[in-house]
Amino acid sequence: MRQAKVERNTAETQISVAVNLDGTGVYDVSTGLGFLDHMLEQFSRHSLMDLTVQTKGDLHIDGHHTTEDTGLAIGQAIREALGDRAGIMRYGHALTPMDETLTRVALDLSNRPYLIWKVKFSRPKLGEMDTELFREWFQALSQAAGITLHVEALYGENNHHMVESCFKGLATSLRQAMEIDPRKAGAVPSTKGVLGGSL
C-alpha cells in the first residue's frame, strides 16, 4: 500500500498528515479554515486518496502559514507515498466544469516541482480565507510533492466555483497520474531510469 504519515511542527504551525494513495476518498480534515477544509475534502474525494489532516496554526495573525504549511505537509506525504514512482502513469490532465466556470489542470509527477498558476479572482476573500492564499497552497503542494503543475481558469465568474474547480481538477489529474500502469511492469516512467533532476 502506498501510504505515508508526516508530522510538521514549527513555531507557526503544528500539522499531522496521513495519506493512502490507493484509498477510496475517505477524509478527516481540520485546519481551522473552513473553506480550506471544504477544498481538501473535495481533493480527497475526487482523487480517491484517503486523507487525514490536523492543523493548528497561528490564525490569530492570518491564514498564510496554516495554508502554506498544510500544502507542504500534504505534498511531502504524497512524495513519500509515491516512493520511486515506479509503474505510475506519471501524467494527468482534466477539464473541470462547475456551472459557469471551466478550469484546465495538467500535471507531471516528474519530481521536478514547478507551478504555472493562471487564476484571477474578483474577490479578496472566500469565507475567512484570502483568495491569494490558494496559489500559495498549490505552490507548496507542487514543491513538496515534486509535481510540475499547470492550473488555468479558462473562464468563470463565481470565485467559489473557480477555486473548487481548481481543486477538483487537481484531484482528477493526480488520480490519473498516480495510477499504476500494468503495462509498465514496475518500471520508472522515464528514459533516465529515475524521476527528478535535469530534463
**Rounded distance, CA 151 to CA 198, Å?**
23
On the question of pLDDT at 189 being above 70, the answer is: no
Is 90 exceeded by the pLDDT of residue 155? Answer: yes
Give pLDDT, residue 45.
98
pLDDT, tens digit (0-9, with 9 covering 90-100), for 37-60 = 999 999 999 999 999 999 999 999
The backbone torsions φ and ψ at residue 125, rounded to the nearest 5 degrees and listed phi first, read: -140, 150
> With pLDDT > 90 as the criterion, what percentage of the chain qualifies?
89
- Work out whether the CA dihedral 1, 40, 159, 100 comes out positive or negative: positive
- Residue 198: pLDDT above 60? no
All structural domains of the chain with their residue ranges: 3-184
**Per-residue model confidence as pLDDT tens digits over 62-71:** 999 999 999 9
Would the pLDDT of 199 be above 50?
no
Determine the average pLDDT of the residues in 124-152: 97
CATH fold, domain 3-184, is Ribosomal Protein S5; domain 2 (3.30.230)
Average pLDDT over residues 138-149: 98
Residue 84 confidence (pLDDT) above 60: yes
The C-alpha cell at 72 is 507542504
d(CA 22, CA 83): 13
Model confidence at 158: pLDDT above 70: yes
